[in-house]
Structures are given as C-alpha cells and as structure tokens.
Amino acid sequence: MTLPESQRVVATGIGLITPLGHDMPSTWASILAGRSGIGPLTAFDASSFKTHFAAEVKEFDASAYLDRQTARRMDRFLHFAAVAAAEALRDACVDMQALDARRVGVLVGSGIGGIQTILENQAALLERGPRRVSPFSVPALMLNSASAHISISIGARGPNLAVATACATGSHALGEAAETIRRGHADMMIAGGSEAAIVPIAMAGFENIGALSTFNEDPQRASRPFDKQRDGFVMAEGAGVIILERLDTARARGARIYGELIGYGNTADAYHITAPSEDGVGAADCMRMALESAGLLPEQVDYINAHGTSTPLNDASETLAVKQVFGEHAYRLAMSSTKSMTGHLMGAAGAVEAGFCLLALRDQILPPTINYETPDPTCDLDYVPNQARPARFDVAMSNSFGFGGHNGTVIFRRLA
C-alpha cells in the first residue's frame, strides 16, 4: 500500500562534521577519494596506552561558528551537533519564519554525551573544591542538550527528544524522527547524532575490553573492515544531522530531495552487554523489520552501508546476518564500510552513514571500503574494495549496532 504524501518522509538537508571535513561537501569528497581521517592522537598524551591514534576532527574552532560566550558554555559534542544542524538547515533552505514552529521538532542523540565536561569539572572539584565546578556543567553534559540547543537556536517548538543507544543512536534518531512525522506529530524533524568522546577514560575503557585497533605503525590503515587482518575499531568524533520532512510539504516549498526514508528496524540481541550475537540473529531481525516496514523484498536492496567496525566478531556476525536476510542476493548487492575512512563515530555513526547513503543515491556512486587487502573466508561478500564505484541503484540500507545489543536499520530510496 502506498502511503499518502503526508506520511511519506524525505530527506532534504544534510549536515556533517567528521574527521574528513568540517562540512558535508569536504567529507563526501574525501569518502569518494578513499582518504582516511585517522592519525596520531593529539587530544592528549597517549604514550601509556596501547593505541596511539584516533580519528579526530582537526583544527576545529567552535567560535568560528558560534557566539564565543555560548560556545564556552557547551561541550564539544554540542559544538559538533550545533554546527552540523546549522549546515543541514542551510542545505535544506529552511526558513523558520515561513514554517509553523510547533510543527518542527528535533531528535539528536549521543552515545556518551558531555564526557569532556564531566572530566574537566571533576578535576576542578578535586583540585579546587565545589565552588569551582561550572554552573553550566550540567546543561553541557546532558545527552538531551544537543536537541535543546538546536531547538532554542531556531525556535523549533515541536517534539523534542534525545536517544542514547550507544553506536545505534544515530540510526534510531532518524527512524524515530521519521515515525514522529508519520504519526502526524510534526511536519519536519531535525535528526541525528553527535559524539566527542576521545578522552583518556573512554579510550582506556574501550582498550581494556579489547575493542580498539593497535595498528600504531600505520594508523591510516588501522580501520580495515572485513579484512582478515582487522584487529579492532578506531575511535572517532563528529556529528551528522539530517532534515526529514513530509513529502508533500517538501514539494510545496520546492525543496531539493535527497531520498525517501522508507524503512526502519529496531531490535535487541538480548545476548551480551558489549559483544554482538555471533549468530547475527538480532541484526538479521532488525534488517527484516526495516524491509517489512518499507514494503520491500530483499532482492530490491542494492547497497548496504555496513556497521562494519573492523572488529573480528562484529564484521563476521554482520556478514552472517546479511546472508540470513538476503540469501543468494547477498552476493549480488554491494556492502561497504565507510568507517574504514572515518573511524567509528559511535553515537553519531548512524546519522553520518545515513548521510553517505543519501549522497550515494544522489551521485549514483558506491563508497569504498578502504584497506581491504586480505580476504577473510568468513567475510566473502562484495565490500566495494578500496575504490568508489559508479553504479545505477535505487535503494540503500544503513546498519548500526551498539553496545547493549541495540540494533538499528534505516532504508532510503531514490525518488524518480
């Protein structure tokens, strides 16, 4: 059954800030060129750690985008969210004066939130006492502050929420925002995720559970999803924000449309707090749910932007899940991991990678998986190795799987 245009949800704006660039065009150009944003860690001295590199957003000055005083009161993850949202709104040519502010909502989440603010103020408390803790610390560390700041900055008075489902956050934010529109509670949603957790305690925690790559001799080759020599993910930071709106209102205001969000899946592994289920059943259920909500057969999917973290277990279980869902078609579709270039943006990953799916549909090109050198018998699909590939295609799926067993899948279709 075809939904009425008032219940069809399309993407009209994309904002990205990543280790590959401070905006969407520069990030996308780097993706298509197969460039890596990973390098030696500069945020702190990592000499005592096993891993000495990360995918940082370099040379970023929040005061270049935001009022200096306001920026000082915000955590880095809030800086990224605000900048990405502003770009997405410009890209979508949104004029709030022409819209009903009560029908514009925000749903931007984070996996970890304001951890830098927590650490800075904890140090101030221990070293100089409670009076030295900033009165702005609580608003800066709250996960919901990204949605709040964006709402306040543009006067959006519609549904305002945040989600926190670890590395599935960005996909869940988009899926739930689309459902908010379909329920008739909003005409437009500003949705996505932001993360800035490259700090010693987070890095030590991930390192001590064996999740991080230790390929220090050549950091740009460290993230190697689906390659037999993969040894862990690379921590990254940044944000992705996408403007979603009703198809009819988007057409009425003459908006440029990247694609339609037609499917959404949200399931749990119910297995382990950090490890994915080795049989891939939770991820498979999530993809099936997204296909069902989209009204698609498996063979109608052309491309998957994989979760593809470059950890031994994740990449194998995701490959197995794709085979369970798509059968023989799994060997005909293309699947790549852009984390090979961006690193793992955790709570922002799903939104950033959804943006890549929309841009891929627009430009009719498949992003590559770089650093794919040694095939793994357990990972034997078409991972678009090392170079972007022109292709005619209409449907793109994006997977995100997070600690806690959270699974999120969104599906986009190109409009004719």
CA distance 247 to 115: 37
Q: How many CB atoms lie within 10 A of CB 264?
A: 24
Question: Catalytic pick from 22, 167, 379, 406?
Answer: 167
Whether 167 is catalytic: yes
Whether 406 is catalytic: no
Question: Catalytic pick from 344, 357, 379, 406?
Answer: 344
φ/ψ of 12, rounded to 5, equals -120, -5
Please give the span between the terminal C-alpha atoms of the chain, in angstroms, as a whole number.
Answer: 18
Question: Catalytic pick from 22, 307, 379, 406?
Answer: 307
Q: What are the start-end ranges of the H helices in 73-213?
A: 76-91, 115-128, 137-141, 145-154, 169-182, 200-208
In the numeric block, the tokens 């119910």 are attached to: 270
User: Letter for the amino acid at 86?
Assistant: A
CA distance 354 to 398: 6
45 burial (CB, 10 Å; 0-12 / 13-18 / 19+) is exposed
Specify whether the CB–CB gap between 303 and 357 falls below 8 A: yes
CA distance 62 to 159: 27
Radius of gyration of the chain (CA): 20
Whether 307 is catalytic: yes
Q: What is the 3-state secondary structure (H, E, C) of 318-357?
A: HHHHHHHHHHHHHHCCEEECCHHHHCECHHHHHHHHHHHH
CA distance 200 to 120: 12
φ/ψ of 251, rounded to 5, equals -70, -35
Residues designated catalytic: 167, 307, 344
